[in-house]
Amino acid sequence: MITKYLEVGDNDWGVLVNYDFDILDHDDIWAICKSFGMSDKSINKALRILSSYNTGMAISSDDLRMSAIFISKATSPSEWWSSCLHELRHCAQAIIDYYGADWNEDDAYLTGFLTKRAVELIGEPCF
């Protein structure tokens, strides 16, 4: 599994982007989800979802001031980026909710910032 870290602000919030994983990464995914407070039942459900192509998942923790996204294998680069952007949008929502910022404008700028950082760090997605 590849993990990239996106920092928002001066360590105000972090986003772990996890992708290119397979069944051998089960323990790593499990550990991340547990650290975010997910129950065993929810983690098992997430692993089933992520075993399909073109899927993703986002989790956030106000206590950690962090989000984690998981992006499954995809059928094309555009499908991979579609899943990534969808999950980054969920991260932006969690950050906006935590800081009580303006939903419309701040959300748009934050989603754009996260997307830009993801493209810079990841480049070519795995599919």
Residue 127 has pLDDT above 70, yes or no: no
Tens digit of each residue's pLDDT (9 = 90 or more) over 22-60? 767 889 999 999 999 999 999 999 999 998 999 999 999
pLDDT at 42: 95
CB 71 within 8 A of CB 56: yes
Residue 61 belongs to some domain of the structure: yes
Tens digit of each residue's pLDDT (9 = 90 or more) over 67-91? 999 999 999 988 999 999 999 999 9
Tens digit of each residue's pLDDT (9 = 90 or more) over 2-18? 999 999 887 799 999 99
Residue 127 belongs to some domain of the structure: no
pTM: 0.87
Residue 21 belongs to some domain of the structure: yes
Q: What is the mean pLDDT of the chain?
A: 89
pLDDT at 18: 94
Residue 102 has pLDDT above 80, yes or no: no
> Which residues have a Cβ under 8 Å from the Cβ of 20 and sit 6 or more positions away?
1, 2, 73, 126
Would strands 66-71 and 13-19 be described as parallel, antiparallel, or unpaired?
A: parallel
Quote the tokens at residue 121.
Answer: 């760090």
Domain around 79: 2-122
Residue 23 belongs to some domain of the structure: yes
The count of domains in the chain is: 1
